[in-house]
Amino acid sequence: MRSSRDLAILVLAALLGACGTDSAARPEPPEDPCESSILRYENFGELFMLDWCRGCHSAGLVDGMRQGAPLESNFEDVDAIRELASMITLKATGAQPTMPPAAGPSAEERALLKEWLACGAP
């Protein structure tokens, strides 16, 4: 036979267990930033690339005009940018960005670039 103390412990444990399964008590999962992002190629990516990247990363530039940019790294269209997204992210938004090599976009603009690329450069 159980004592009243044992019964109280079982009731308390059941109540605590029930609280753990209550969906209203669980925090909401964090929102996917890509679901709420308004950044698109047409309203961000194209202009960013034109302003900061295509002075060197353009297929229309001959080797001597590219300031060392690899001939295969051209940012005229979104498909090419998507293919190189991880490299662009690393070099333009990393802890110590190296691109563009002189001056460059603000920290806020770099953060937007990182978001846009992380969301698949829609």
For the residues 36-45, what does the mean pLDDT come to?
A: 96
- pTM, full prediction: 0.72
Band of pLDDT at residue 5, cut at 50, 70 and 90: low
For the residues 64-90, what does the mean pLDDT come to?
A: 95
What's the confidence (pLDDT) of residue 31? 80
Band of pLDDT at residue 103, cut at 50, 70 and 90: confident
What's the confidence (pLDDT) of residue 71? 93
Question: How far apart, in Å, are the Cα atoms of 19 and each of 9, 13, 14, 23, 100?
Answer: 15, 10, 9, 9, 53
